[in-house]
Amino acid sequence: MKLFRPFNVVVDFETGDLTPGKKITRYLSDIQHFFLDKEKVKAVLAKENPLVYEVIYAEVPEEAGHLAHCTTIIYPGKVGNEFFFTKGHLHEKLETAEIYFTLKGQGRLIMASPDGEECEVLEMFPGSASYIPPCWSHRSVNVGGEPLIFYCIFFADAGHDYATIDKTGFPKVVLERNGEVVVENNPNW
Ligand code: F6R
Ligand code: ZN
């Protein structure tokens, strides 16, 4: 049996950098279809294409038994009154759980059952360790004025199903109203 060697990565709690790691970037154009206000999205994209979030992965084989881990950095911003968020997904292996440990910033974690009948929204804040049980889709939202940075641990063979969320979105949306963070039903659900 070939042994996989133990290794460290170093996480910078201030910037979310994870070294050594592999970074992916998501711009507004990548997630534009999820936002409620299509006109506002168009207006923003006519001027610029802001970076919404980055994910930096430790390099771990995508095999059963391994634990994948990464940091996510969601930059502060809104389209209209809707805060920046991640695409969101289900795990292809539905029965796999995940933990999000928040290092910096303020957020909300929207979770839904596969049929969307159940939906829960947890607060994310420095020190919160949010448990995403098996079968819940998940999307995180930056509701603050600084980057929201969190560290995720999940089964390396979980796989990511983005197609389902692409079709449906999430049952709830997180908006700013009169300077307050509010969670409302998604009118397009
Ligand atoms: C992995 C996981 C997180 C997200 C990351 C970006 O299972 O839940 O690492 O992948 O926060 O969000 P998505 O993948 O929805 O673009
Ligand atoms: Zn996940």
**pLDDT value of position 9:** 98
CB under 8 Å to 162, separation ≥6 — which residues? Answer: 87, 88, 89
Assign 2 a pLDDT band (cuts: 50, 70, 90): confident
Pocket lining: 98 vs ligand 1, CB cutoff 6 Å: yes
Which residue's CA is the closest to the ligand 1 atom numbered 2? 152
Say if CB 60 and CB 38 are below 8 A apart: no
Probe target for ligand 1 pocket from 72, 138, 150, with the most ligand atoms within 8 Å of CB: 72
Which residue's CA is the closest to the ligand 1 atom numbered 7? 154
d(CA 90, CA 138): 7
Say if CB 155 and CB 93 are below 8 A apart: yes
Burial of 57 (0-12, 13-18, 19+ CB in 10 A): middle
Percentage, residues of the chain above pLDDT 90: 98
* Mean pLDDT for the stretch of residues 10-14: 98
The full set of domain ranges for the chain reads 10-185
**pLDDT value of position 119:** 98
Assign 25 a pLDDT band (cuts: 50, 70, 90): very high
Query: Over 90: is that where the pLDDT of 188 sits?
Result: yes
> What b-and-e string marks burial along 128-153, b requiring 16 or more CB atoms within 10 Å of the CB?
bebebeebbbbbbbbbbeebbbbbbb
Pocket lining: 55 vs ligand 1, CB cutoff 6 Å: yes
The strand order across the sheet containing 137-142 reads 119-124, 107-112, 137-142
Pocket lining: 105 vs ligand 1, CB cutoff 6 Å: no
Say if CB 112 and CB 119 are below 8 A apart: yes
* Mean pLDDT for the stretch of residues 50-79: 98
pLDDT digits (tens, 9 = 90+) for 147-171: 999 999 999 999 999 999 999 999 9
Assign 1 a pLDDT band (cuts: 50, 70, 90): confident
**pLDDT value of position 116:** 93
Amino acid type, 70: C
CATH of domain 10-185: 2.60.120.10
Query: Over 80: is that where the pLDDT of 139 sits?
Result: yes
pLDDT digits (tens, 9 = 90+) for 103-128: 999 999 999 999 999 999 999 999 99
Percentage, residues of the chain above pLDDT 70: 100
Q: Which residues surround ligand 2, an ion (CB under 5 A)?
A: 98
| Mean pLDDT over the full length of the chain | 98
**CA angle in degrees (0–180, nearest 5) for 9-160-118:** 115
The secondary element (H helix, E strand) that includes residue 100 is strand 98-104
